[in-house]
Amino acid sequence: MLVLSRHREESIMIGENVEIKVISIRRNEIQLGITAPKSISVFRREVFQRISEERQRANAGFPCFYIRQGNAVAVLCRAPFLHKPDAVRKGKIYA
């Protein structure tokens, strides 16, 4: 792991086209600005982990939908329908 020190308004370059800039520093919080081409996905770790988990579910047969609005990404997955033998005979399906 490379550890760098940066002050407010200073930045780090990753390759030729990804820039990470320190926007503000407040007590235990650092606000970063990231400039990257649209072909490179940038996520917070917790969002990336959730997307990874949902992709694993999708590979297990769960249909998933990715909704992107601005910087936010929502991942919606639905379990397959569960059929109860009595309900199927009566023409009802339970989700």
The tens digit of pLDDT for each residue in 13-67 reads 999 999 999 999 998 999 999 999 888 888 888 888 888 887 776 666 656 666 6
pTM > 0.75 = no
What pLDDT is stored for residue 38 in this prediction?
87
pLDDT tier, 87 (very low <50, low <70, confident <90, very high otherwise): very low
At residue 80, does pLDDT exceed 80? no
Do 62 and 95 lie in a common domain?
yes
d(CA 30, CA 32): 6
Determine the residue type at 37.
P
Do 8 and 21 lie in a common domain?
yes
Domain count, the chain: 2
Q: What is the extent of the structural domain holding 19?
A: 1-38
What pLDDT is stored for residue 65 in this prediction?
64
d(CA 50, CA 76): 11
